[in-house]
Amino acid sequence: MGKVFFEVGSSALPADATAAVNTAAEFLKGKADAKLDLTGYTDKSGDVEKNLELAKERAKAVREALKAAGVPEDRINMKPPVSITGSGDNAEARRVELNPAS
């Protein structure tokens, strides 16, 4: 449904996050029983434990933006953070994904 990309080492919500947050909020308005899953991802650089904590903080920032957009907290599922390994793009890895709950 949407992705919010973050700067290196930052959990500050970027200005362009508004589009993903608004799309998710609109999706939920039309579906009374729907929920969102938020998953924070990290890149493969640096300390794995610190990165996982940063991914969690990023997901919390997105959750707060959703709440500010009118989404009740009980409709937001916080998923465990995921550490990306391998040769993927670090910029792509520093994200929070917003997806309909399965």
The 10s digit of each residue's pLDDT in 32-63 is 889 999 999 988 888 889 999 999 999 999 99
Average pLDDT over residues 5-32: 92
For the chain, how many structural domains are there in total?
Answer: 1
Range of the domain at 83: 2-28+35-100
Here the CATH number for the domain that contains residue 78 is 3.30.1330.60
d(CA 67, CA 91): 26
- Cα 102 to Cα 84: distance, rounded to the nearest angstrom: 22
